Structure 1
Amino acid sequence: MKPIIIVAALAAALSVQAQEAAKTDSVEGFKFTDVKTVKTGPVRDQNKSGTCWCFSSNSFFENEIIRKGHKPVDLSEMFVVWHTYDDKADKYIRTNGKINFSQGGSGLDVPYVWAAYGMMPEEAYKGLNYGEDNHVHGELESAMQGYLSAINRKPNRRLSTAWRKGLQGILNAYFGEIPQTFEYEGKTYTPRTFAQSLGINPDDYATFTSFTHHPFDKPFVLEVSDNWLSGQYMNVPLADLKAIVDNAIDKGYSVAWAADVSEGGFKWKEGFAVMPADKDEADLEGTELSRWVKLSDAEKNREKYDVKGPVKEIEVTQEMRQDMFDRQETTDDHGMVIVGKATDQNGNEYYKVQNSWTDKQKYGGYFYVSMPYFLAKTMDIYVNKEAVPAAIRKRTGI
């Protein structure tokens, strides 16, 4: 009986530990300690679909539902994706193909669909109607792009009245038709009444970014191809962008986060993202210096990003951040959710991030982003207005 007692005691201890706000995660050379975390729903898996924008924003709203004290719910990503593809296709044709039509999108697409069409739970609309157990959108994207390209050429010299139904037919073939009503936990809903039952008002949320090619404290349309809605983002100084996230986490709010993840220091599998500084040859001595100067630029770059633990990182300025964006070194790649703050063994600050690339990873689908990485590579954030510091709200009119 003793082994059973020991196992039970160990399981109980682990359960208590998992519920604590602060815990330590470690990877080779790193030791991360959570300083503050917010309550979150489970990590979702976008699999082979380019719909991170939907998975991240849905997860963000799932976290908000939990924060508000409501019962957790698994929101349907493909309900949002169906409506986004449909409306994006309409705009694509209306602009003669002058906007980007692809799997990519903006985090603002989710509140747009929420306000315009409502929401559904995952169990009522999974969007897997094409022989796959998980999302795989390559064929669907190609089918829609081919169809829209043909429609855009106007072979009849003017558009027919059927083209949009044809596009919706493709969506229905792959995702299934969206039901007008559905049952959930013993009640009958429409997408609109279900959205109303969740206690979320899209007007309670705001977007922020930080660039100098537009004036601060005023909104502007962020110039990225996936912003097909021409959504506006409030522009604030970089220090304020960080202050908003810090204040949100401290008060128990998560933050939807769009960022560039193409950097060599973005180590998803290893559970961290850092922005290593270039090696200073003045600090190298003897054989180390002689070896370094013989390396090619490619070899130096590989060594720079061969990160095994805390490293010296770049000091990010507003000007540096702008230059990276202007030269398209910083690109709009991926949507995630910031859910906590942490430190490494050297006291460096990180944000803890909830991702949508499965939970089969070092930290179960979460990873740690250094402050230099956040400051340099953030495209934008989306957050409850209540989580924005009062001085910033007053100054920006949020």
Structure 2
Amino acid sequence: MRTLFIFFGSFLIAMTSFAQEIYRFTPQINLEATPVISQGRTGTCWSFSTSSFLESEIIRLTGKEIDLSEMYTVRNTYPKKAENFVMRQGKAQFSEGGLAHDVMNSVREFGLVPNSAYTGLDVSEENHNHAELVAILEAMVKTYVDNPGRKLSKKWRPALNAVLDAYLGSNPKNFTFEGKQYTPQSFLAITKIVPDDYVTVTSFSHAPYYQSFILNIPDNWSYGSMYNVPLDEMMLVIDTALENGFTVELDCDVSEATFSSKDGVAVVPAVSENNIKALQGLYPEMKIEQQYRQEEFENFTTTDDHLMHVTGTVIDQNGNKYYTVKNSWGTDEKRNANGGYVYFSEAYMRLKAISVMVHKDALPKTTASKLNI
């Protein structure tokens, strides 16, 4: 009995000592990315994060750093959302949210432009604030669905576009970049981005593995399909991409108390009592397997909240790996540690990553073969 007491006493001392260690991170993989910026008072993380992802892809493909216009994509996506909502008579999602494939759909149809050609800001504005715009757009599409005139006129589409032009600006047809004239499509060509080269991978057990399916989450308003693989393989996709110089676009849940941009970490403590303390120091984490991930998704504990950009990895002083995730909430040190990056533990990534997008060449060869890519 005394031996048992000594054992548990030593265990508690060891645990206490372990928990008192503050994080000390050492970079392992650090891929090139453009500076952290803020999405402002908007719900357009999907455009900011995927644009950041494409900016890293442009660096990888061309060696050139280009600041892409996030708002050009937002401007061209809103009419698509409105069309979907109105023609489905309100039985669809209309909000600021979206997913990475919405950016790729926009790039495919409308091309790309640099931020210098289209900021989405009035000359008197410095930060994005879409509160008024969104309220107006939502009121408009709901009015069209209610159809007070008993017959929906053809004026609703130009009316919606007029509001978007007033708040964000009209689409540029031609612009100058570094002394040369471009259209959005000719500018896309110099970036070497090919939208069809990018694939979205997820991991949920309610759909067949190694097939594509439409994941039913609110922001998948455009009904984009994703490839489904087992959880370990989804993690392998992320790791293989990073190890071979490809960054990763991430859709994830950041609503948990164990995610903190202020502290710059996202973890899944093994004991919930340590949830807040684990934001400042090392605590043991849960082992996340497929079944638990599925349960947390189906009971709405894991939700589709935010899109971010994975650019590398770090390890803590005990050798545990974390993913370096670029956020779009700015670099204010009082609100965002690590210069605007958040370090996701492996447990957090396994549990809270809804899906990832990568270039098809970043896939492990065995996974690509199973997916017939």
TM-score, length basis structure 1: 0.86
- Match for 1:363: what amino acid? N
Query: Which whole-Å CA distance do the structure 2 matches of 1:150 and 1:216 have between them?
Result: 42
Instruction: Provide Cα deviations, 1:222-243, integer angstroms capped at 9, x if missing partner.
Output: 1111111100000000000110
1:39-118 correspondence runs (5 A): 39-118=32-111
1:323 corresponding residue in structure 2: 295
Confirm or deny that 1:343 pairs with 2:315. yes
Match of 1:304 among 268, 275, 281: 275
- SS of 2:176's equivalent in the other structure is strand
Confirm or deny that 1:212 pairs with 2:184. no
- SS of 2:116's equivalent in the other structure is helix
> How far has the Cα of 1:156 moved from its partner?
1.8
Match of 2:351 among 376, 384, 394: 376
Confirm or deny that 1:397 pairs with 2:368. no
- SS of 1:313's equivalent in the other structure is coil
Query: Which whole-Å CA distance do the structure 2 matches of 1:241 and 1:231 have between them?
Result: 18
- Match for 2:358: what amino acid? V
Query: Which whole-Å CA distance do the structure 1 matches of 2:124 and 2:153 have between them?
Result: 31
1:247-258 correspondence runs (5 A): 247-258=240-251
- Match for 1:351: what amino acid? Y
Query: Which whole-Å CA distance do the structure 2 matches of 1:113 and 1:70 have between them?
Result: 24
- Match for 2:163: what amino acid? I
- Match for 2:159: what amino acid? G
2:13 corresponding residue in structure 1: none
Aligned length: 350
2:114 corresponding residue in structure 1: 121
Query: Which whole-Å CA distance do the structure 2 matches of 1:45 and 1:320 have between them?
Result: 33
Query: Which whole-Å CA distance do the structure 1 matches of 2:112 and 2:90 have between them?
Result: 29
- Match for 1:128: what amino acid? L
- SS of 1:108's equivalent in the other structure is helix
Query: Which whole-Å CA distance do the structure 1 matches of 2:100 and 2:275 have between them?
Result: 32
- SS of 1:122's equivalent in the other structure is coil
1:177-326 correspondence runs (5 A): 177-278=170-271, 300=273, 303-307=274-278, 308-326=280-298
> How far has the Cα of 1:306 moved from its partner?
2.4
Query: Which whole-Å CA distance do the structure 1 matches of 2:157 and 2:123 have between them?
Result: 21
Confirm or deny that 1:133 pairs with 2:129. no
Kept in 1, the 8 Å contact 2:268–2:275? The answer is no
Query: Which whole-Å CA distance do the structure 1 matches of 2:302 and 2:123 have between them?
Result: 35
1:8 corresponding residue in structure 2: none
Query: Which whole-Å CA distance do the structure 1 matches of 2:49 and 2:160 have between them?
Result: 26
> How far has the Cα of 1:130 moved from its partner?
8.0
Query: Which whole-Å CA distance do the structure 1 matches of 2:298 and 2:200 have between them?
Result: 21
Instruction: Provide Cα deviations, 1:163-205, integer angstroms capped at 9, x if missing partner.
Output: 0100011101100111211111111111111111210101111
- SS of 1:149's equivalent in the other structure is helix
- Match for 2:311: what amino acid? V
1:126-165 correspondence runs (5 A): 126-129=119-122, 131-165=124-158
- Match for 1:304: what amino acid? N
Instruction: Provide Cα deviations, 1:123-151, integer angstroms capped at 9, x if missing partner.
Output: 00000138531111111100000111111
TM-score, length basis structure 2: 0.91
Kept in 1, the 8 Å contact 2:311–2:325? The answer is yes
- SS of 2:201's equivalent in the other structure is strand
- SS of 2:97's equivalent in the other structure is coil
- Match for 1:276: what amino acid? P
Query: Which whole-Å CA distance do the structure 1 matches of 2:192 and 2:128 have between them?
Result: 28
Identity score, percent: 41
Query: Which whole-Å CA distance do the structure 2 matches of 1:132 and 1:224 have between them?
Result: 33
- SS of 2:227's equivalent in the other structure is strand
Query: Which whole-Å CA distance do the structure 1 matches of 2:105 and 2:275 have between them?
Result: 41
- Match for 2:88: what amino acid? T
Kept in 1, the 8 Å contact 2:31–2:247? The answer is yes
Query: Which whole-Å CA distance do the structure 2 matches of 1:33 and 1:78 have between them?
Result: 35
Query: Which whole-Å CA distance do the structure 1 matches of 2:125 and 2:221 have between them?
Result: 28
Q: Name stretches of at least 5 consecutive residues in structure 2 with no aligned partner.
A: 1-20
- SS of 1:43's equivalent in the other structure is coil
> How far has the Cα of 1:267 moved from its partner?
1.4
Query: Which whole-Å CA distance do the structure 2 matches of 1:255 and 1:370 have between them?
Result: 15
